[in-house]
Amino acid sequence: MSGLGWRKRWRLALLMTAAAVLALYILAPFSWLVVTTFMHEKDALSVPPHWIPVHPTLENYFTFLNPSGVGALVGSRAAEDTLPGILNSLIAASGTALLNVILGALAGYSFARLRFRGQRSLLMIYLGSRMVPGIALIIPLYLVVRMLGLLDTLPALALTYLTFTLPFTIWLLKSYFQGIPRAVEEAALVDGCTWPQMLFKVLLPMAKPGLAGAAMFAFMTAWNDYLFAVILTNTMASKTVTVVVAGFATDVTTARTLMTTGGVLAVIPPLVLAFLFRKFVVEGLTAGAVKG
Amino acid sequence: MAVTAEAGSSRQRGWREIAGRRQRPLRMRRALSYENPSFAYLLNAPAIFAIGLLVVFPIIDSAWLSLHHYDLMQPRTFTFVGFANFAAILGSSEFWAAFVVTAEFTCFALLLLTLLGVGGALLLSTPFPGRGVLRVLILIPWAIPPVVNGLMWQWIYDPKVGVLNGLLKALGLISHYQGWLSEPTGALIALVSAHVWSMFPLAVILLAGSLARIPEELYDAARIDGSDEIGLFRHVTLPWLAQPLLVVLIIETVYALHAFDVIYVLTSGGPGTATTTLTWQTFLTTFQNLNFGRGDAYAWLISLITVGLSVIYFQALYHRGEFEA
């Protein structure tokens, strides 16, 4: 009896150790990034390192709010660009998410409910378009965007991200609509709803969690992109936060604490979304991978 | 829309039979348009337009460019050269060097991702106090933009003030600070570690999701056959994991082949060409040498590798019956 108890205790100790190691692996690198944002430059550069801020400060964050006030700090130019970059990213990513939900719901409905010739091939084209590496598309895409006169604009970014995220959105919403009984639609139509009324008043409200999840995935993909943003943007009219932050990282003259603070600022929106939608992240990733 | 294909017509007929059996009112049947393909195409029109304009057209255009001599360093040259770009690439030492680096990067990353993925998934599938917290924490690396991930590791690996140097010195493992990124092997290991850190949560989440779907009957049956806990793991859990692990490996291979942001921020392909993967070489050919035709040929070689892997992927899923279009 006591032997079994010991075995269980050993098992638990082993599990907890493994969990602690995993938690440390996840948290250690990220917390170092965060911790140094609360340090003065001098403390952050000390050898050996200060593991915790000896003179904790919010100075780095204030620099981003009032970048012109700290001419003495190296890299204030990039700090100036960070907040507008975040705003640009927010607009481009929100636009991507919104367009995704609209176009994805229409197309997703057709795959969930209708039967038409070429259905399977069309879905394969949608999904297959994601297998091409971004770098293969960049030059022709640049030429198309230039032809449309949309270089260095946020709509160009939103449209570009839309095309990368839409296949996944269609797939996700197709599965979601299939989970809603067809009888619900039929009842609405029998009651005299037109098809658009049925879609907007009955089906889409029922599919809200699916739509929100799809919007979140689209937003995060758009927010995280660097390659297309750096090629399609030129000025702060459309530079996104990843472009600004990559500028920090590759510019050796920038104050390192400003660099880490810029990085942390760029992480906040996707991190908040991931935590808010954590159930859907897991469901969505699993559905996306297991079923295509 | 005339039905010509045999398969299509029988599918439609089958559908009509079902629709007819249900005896829906005619008005509603038209409204629902189950049989009205033009309505389905209308619903797909915006998506087809967007993807056609910004993905399908660029794919075709880049294939066309890859068959041309198109070099911005030599203006006014745009001549059809057939597969000469591909031949030149396959005959160049830079391609094979990049190929070897890509293979090393991918294999090393996949090895670590498999260990972390399977280990993490098994851990998260076993109840223990605090498991919920860990399940939330694991989203952190997944949510961080690759550019920030690269920046974070650059800061950690820093040769003069980096915390990795500080930690290893405090532990007595090194006597003085090292330039991890300025030495070929070190740079590759550092790059793989940074990539793996941001990619392992996907593997854990997918594998844990698959573990959660193991039918309890499988365990019951194995128990009746006299399996102990290790036996259950060997005869039920591991075989069950084989298929999803294949899927994870292929997804992660694609991510590794396409990795760009983290290389850009962390090593820029260096030192020398120690971390110049095929994707980075494509970037250099295109945007540094401005040889657009050659660059597109490079991109197409990567695409072919990716598509080859995805075919295996779809086949694997198809045989399992999980894939239905």
Domain span(s) for CATH 1.10.3720.10 in chain B:
86-320
Identify any residues that bridge with A118 across adjacent strands, giving them in sequence order: none
Task: Name the residue among B39, B134, B286 with its Cβ closest to that of A23.
Answer: B134
For B280-321, the pLDDT digits (tens) are: 999 998 888 888 888 888 888 888 887 787 777 667 665 654
> Do A50 and A185 fall into the same domain?
no
What is the residue-averaged pLDDT of chain A? 86
Domain end call among A12, A35, A62: A62
Give the per-residue pLDDT at A157: 94
- pLDDT value, residue A49: 84
Is residue A84 in a domain? yes
Among A34, A62, A90, which residue terminates a domain? Answer: A62
Whether A136 and A269 share a structural domain: yes
- Domain check: are A56 and A124 in the same one? no
- Quote the CA–CA distance of A85 and A82 in Å, as a whole number: 5
- A130 and A27 belong to one structural domain: no
pLDDT(B6) > 60: no
List Cα–Cα distances, A192 to A106, A195, A258, B53, B120, in angstroms.
Answer: 21, 9, 60, 38, 53
Q: Same domain, yes or no, for A263 and A131?
A: yes
Q: Output the pLDDT for position B87.
A: 85
| Nearest residue, CB atoms, A33 vs list B59, B142, B152 | B152
| Best of B9, B16, B51 to mutate (most A CBs within 10 Å, chain A) | B51
Q: What average pLDDT does chain B have?
A: 82
The CATH number of B86-320 is 1.10.3720.10
Contacts of A95 (CB under 8 A, 6+ apart): A154, A155, A158
Q: What is the pLDDT of residue B98?
A: 92
What pTM was computed for the model?
Answer: 0.84
Interface of A with B in 44-83 (CB under 8 A): 44-49
* pLDDT recorded at residue B322: 47
A71 falls within a domain = no
At B15 the pLDDT is 43
Pair A57, A83 in one domain: no
- B58 vs A contacts (CB less than 8 Å): 137, 139-141, 144
CATH at residue A159: 1.10.3720.10
Does the pLDDT at position A54 exceed 90? no
Same domain? A89 vs A208: yes
**Inter-CA distances, B231 with B113, B125, B224, B225, B236, Å:** 25, 17, 12, 10, 8
CB contact under 8 A, B161 and A47: yes
Q: Are residues A11 and A152 in the same domain?
A: no
Q: Which of A176-180, B35-39, B92-96, B152-156 has the lowest mean pLDDT?
A: B35-39
Reduced to 3 states (helix: H, G, I; strand: E, B; else coil), residue B11 is helix
pLDDT at A87: 94
Structural domain range at position A86 = 77-290
pLDDT band at A285 (very low <50, low <70, confident <90, very high): confident
CA A179 and chain centroid, separation:
26
Residue A10 lies in a domain: yes
How many structural domains comprise chain A?
Answer: 2
**Inter-chain residue contact A131 with B37, CB threshold 8 Å:** no
Same domain, A171 and A250: yes
Averaged pLDDT for residues B156-173? 90
Q: Mean pLDDT over residues B206-220, rounded?
A: 86
Rounded to whole angstroms, how far apart are CA atoms A114 and A128? 21
Output Rg (C-alpha) for chain A, integer angstroms: 24
Closest in B41, B202, B307 to A131, CB measured: B307
The answer for B76, left when phi > 0, alpha when psi is -120 to 50, beta otherwise, is left
B129 contacts in chain A (CB < 8 Å): 16
- Most A-contacting residue of B148, B163, B196, B280 (CB-CB within 10 A), to test interface: B148
Burial class, A268, CB count within 10 angstroms (exposed 0-12 / middle 13-18 / buried 19+) = exposed
Give the span between the Cα atoms of B19 and B214, in whole angstroms.
36
Mean pLDDT over A12-28 rounds to: 94
- B12 to chain A: which residues are within 8 Å by CB? 115
Least confident span in A28-37, A152-161, B141-150, B252-261 = B252-261
- B206/A270 Cβ within 8 A: no
Within this chain, do residues A153 and A22 fall inside the same structural domain, yes or no? no
Are residues A121 and A211 located together in one domain of the fold?
yes
Tell me, yes or no, whether A69 lies in a domain.
Answer: no
Both A48 and A154 in one domain: the answer is no
